[in-house]
Amino acid sequence: MLRAACSRVLPLVFSASLGVESMGTVKRLVCLANSYMTAGRCVAGIEVTAEGQRGVWVRAVGDHAAGGLRREQCLYEDGTEPRVLDIMEVPLQRPSPKGHHTENWLIDFGKRWRYVGRMEASNLAQFVDPEAPLWASEYHSKRGVNDRVPQELALRQQASLRLVYVEKMHVLVKTYDGQGNRPKRCLRASFRYAGEQYALRVTDRAFEQSFKGKPDGGYPLGGRFLTISLAQPYTDDFCYKLVAAVIEP
């Protein structure tokens, strides 16, 4: 239960206060997504204060059209990658919103990110967004449920990232014929939230790896925090809802 998660909230520990660069800023974030997208990595998190209070969502983006990051653009000083629940300091140039991706910030190229520490998963209870349906409903893809929004409706949204808690979920593993008849595995998270049923594609690379070698089928899980992202328009003019991170309390 979410209430149980709340009861286990622990104090957050941070390093010295973050600095401000003359040509930009450095934001301290709890990493809530390091997932794959068509054109690179999607790295996003919620800003936190030195006292551990919740700030706003930030999605770090590059300078090409799709906004995805290359691996070398989102590394720590020691060459390692951010993990979900890392506390990190990210050098940024300026806000760079694009359509409904209002949370976008352009990274400061050439500067490494800084690892500060880790957050306990139980602390995420205080970062969950207010409960509400995940954008527009009743738009289903061939394999999903409530998993997409027409582009014209997506443009009316004020945000594209949500952190939610679900009491239970099923992971649906299915292998399809991909390009050139090559097998392609797809994970979907099936859950009920805010009175609606969803089956959304999972793009959490670490979570996907944990199902490597498991046969196709459905796998029940208990309560989880989920980072949900409303992606940029696909070639069919729909914006797809994706599970960018699955986090066990």
Q: Which of 120, 147, 170 is the last residue of a domain?
A: 120
Shared domain check, 240 and 134: yes
The answer to whether the CB of 57 falls within 8 A of the CB of 245 is no
For residues 145 and 112, membership in a common domain is answered with no
Q: Give yes or no: residues 138 and 236 share one domain.
A: yes
Kindly state whether residues 113 and 137 are assigned to the same domain: no
The three-state secondary structure class of 123 is helix
Alpha helices (H) in 132-245, listed in sequence order: 151-154, 205-209
Residue 196: what pLDDT? 98
Identify whether residues 60 and 146 lie together within a single domain. Answer: no
* CB 91, CB 111: distance < 8 Å: yes
Instruction: Extract the residue ranges of the chain whose pLDDT is less than 70.
Output: 1-23, 38, 65-66, 178-180
> Which residue among 90, 120, 150 closes a domain?
120
Number of domains in the chain: 2
Same domain, 88 and 47: yes
**Structural domain range at position 207:** 126-247
Look at residue 70 in the predicted model and tell me its pLDDT. 84
Q: Is the separation of the CB atoms in 113 and 60 below 8 Å?
A: no
Q: Could you tell me if 164 and 223 lie in one domain?
A: yes
CATH of the domain at 237: 2.40.50
Where b means 16+ CB within 10 Å and e means fewer, 215-231 reads eeeeeeeeebbbbbbbb
pLDDT at 129: 97
- The tens digit of pLDDT for each residue in 120-142 reads 998 999 999 999 999 999 999 99
Question: Closest Cα partner for 230 from 177, 154, 163, 175?
Answer: 154
Domain match, 60 and 150 both:
no
Cα 172 from Cα 159, distance rounded (Å) = 27
The torsion angles phi and psi of 227, rounded to 5 degrees, stand at: -90, 120
Strand runs (DSSP E) across 38-160, as ranges? 40-48, 54-61, 86-95, 104-107, 114-118, 148-150
Q: Which of 120, 136, 162 is the last residue of a domain?
A: 120
Let me know whether 136 and 111 are in one domain.
Answer: no
